[in-house]
A and B are shown apart, each in its own frame.
Chain A
């Protein structure tokens, strides 16, 4: 494992009771890399995220975040992590800023430091003007932006995005895809983005295709396309997942 490895998963297996969900998963995401975890519904993406975020516990394999083993040093490992879950997780009855202050406190950031961090993140995502609005009053795209700002408040090494564009309209989705890719370039943050939407992938992204709990292909977009002799990443995805969407 090198120093710039934000996420290192080795031989990870997981089952719900007797039903296996993940089998011998190996996955590495490095700083400044946007890694797209591509898989159809039920492939094991959300389960993998639940394991990385320690919501579920695993008995086989290893997960390390920025060099900290999730089992042996869970708090140090989780401190390296920013997450945007598939389901919205903002408190609708609080303002944007109140939501962010709450998150900052969970990360141990003092109010003074949090204030400047909140301003910085909201300005980056063009949401600072709306800091005093109730989250309930924001549209889906803006709520997602707030969630990204929140996930980045404590400057994590790894940003996990679990199908964050679900339910967004096309312009909001495009804007979000652009913003995250820009973030990777600017801040050197590693991103692991779970999706099943091909148009969220940029040519320079790392792609990991997962199907029925197995990693089917990994590499940059071109390598994944070549690995199955396909023409586009979409063709490659269908081939790797046996034509199932």
Chain B
């Protein structure tokens, strides 16, 4: 198989995802409205309630809006990862997934291309969100926005591969909506997206442990540090490791001889 074939196919898959995203304006709007409501309503309301100590990567006291911004970036990517996977379940139920899987390319490559396409869409959403936040005077150092880019690729891949893994196990669209609730909410609320670890430790030791080893927390911390021009090595390796594990499991899930596809029905 020629290398150029892979290149053309990758751009085909990414291009299709971008086209779909640009045509689905409601999707773009809802992807932005969700974190903006959290930022402008939730964070504003809780500003006085939650005191924030000086914690790395911040070198001064910060507003609660500033604290939750990286968590909301993670939220955008988490929802986008789930949305992409939801569309894969939909595509599979509707049949268009078959066109992708029948093409003469290795399945792992097709799935990774799909993942990358989803990540690209999520990055667009994140930077639009950050631009709006900037107007609201939630500003990070300029270089932080540059350092954020490779981190968003990694965190997007990790969260996307989680969605991909779920989509390989979930049979029907209706079930996927349920799974999303069981996955998104625990991941988001039991993480450092909304409150720092020390705050969680104050209230519950087990919640603290859950949040500490929650992959979403690691992604959020990686985003937080990069946005302030710092590198969180531990979070980076953790996120990378989880991404590899999720991806391998998802590829197995989509493998015709080993995975769940065959057990799902008689299409």
A positions within 8 Å CB-CB of B: 16, 21, 46-47, 50, 53-57, 74-79, 81, 83, 85-91, 93-94, 98, 101-110
Contact = CB atoms under 8 A, between A and B. Distances in A.
B94 A87 contact: yes
Contact of A91 (B9, B16, B103, B256): B16
A47 B1 CA distance: 28
A87 B8 contact: no
A77 B13 CA distance: 22
B20 interface: yes
Given A81-B102, A106-B103, A90 B96 contact: yes
Interface string B191-211: 000000000000000000000
Given A54-B256, A98-B19, A110-B4, 4 more contacts: A103-B99, A105-B11, A106-B9, A108-B5
B265 to A, nearest CB: 9
A101 B16 CA distance: 9
B60 interface: no
Contacts of B1: 75, 108
Interface of B is mostly: helix
Contact of B105 (A75, A77, A102): A75
B261 A85 contact: no
Query: Which 6 A-B residue pairs are closest in the complex by CB-CB distance?
Result: A105-B12, A108-B5, A87-B95, A57-B257, A106-B103, A79-B104
B20 A93 contact: yes
A86 B95 CA distance: 9
A57 B262 contact: yes
Contact of B24 (A16, A89, A93): A93
Nearest to A59: B257
B29 to A, nearest CB: 16
A105 B19 CA distance: 15
A162 B9 CA distance: 25
B20 A102 contact: no
Interface in B17-50: 19-20, 23-24
Nearest to A88: B95
A50 B267 contact: yes
